[in-house]
Amino acid sequence: MEFITNNSPWIIGYPIHESYSLLELKAFHLISIINASKTSNSIEDLNTLLIKEYEMSEVSRILIEIAVQIRNQIDLDCSTFEGRKYNPNSSTGKLTINYQSASCRTIDLSFREACNKIIHAKHINFDLLNPNSIKEYDYMNPQIYLYGDFNGHEWKTELDILKFISILIGIKN
């Protein structure tokens, strides 16, 4: 059903939200890419030319931009950013230290530590449905796996992107 906005005092021409923050816009783009993955990947003509070429790289790029911006804010010891309060200890997934060792240890991945791991990861894997190769899969799920090392200890994170974004924009699950 068409929603008429011609007589709305809030919309002149096209609806434009001028008060959004760049951080919210990045969060919106990230969620849009992930949520559109299933539909986009089902369109065969677009699948190879656009989706498979840009989907993973855009998710990676946006995550890094968000993580750097948030980490800078946290490190400046500001509890608010554009009017929102962040709890850097909120869990966004799991962190496994020495993940390939018998002495591995798994803990909750805090919001702040998720930002660290996104920034310092040496490798990222995506959670894909029915993957045959990097360019042959049904769609992307909202979970990523980051790998790296710190002080000689290899680590692996399982990051729930939707939890990360929910915490970012102040929505508590």
72-82 confidence digits (pLDDT tens): 877 776 555 55
Report which of residues 7 and 95 the model is more confident about: 95
pLDDT for residue 42 is more than 90 = no
Say if residues 117 and 146 touch (Cβ distance below 8 Å).
Answer: yes
Residues 6+ apart with CB under 8 A from 110: 88, 89, 90, 91, 92
| pTM value surpassing 0.75 | yes
Residue pLDDT, tens place only, 112-131: 999 999 999 999 999 988 88
Residue 83 has pLDDT above 80, yes or no: no
Amino acid 172: pLDDT: 44
Domains of the chain, by residue range, sit at 22-168
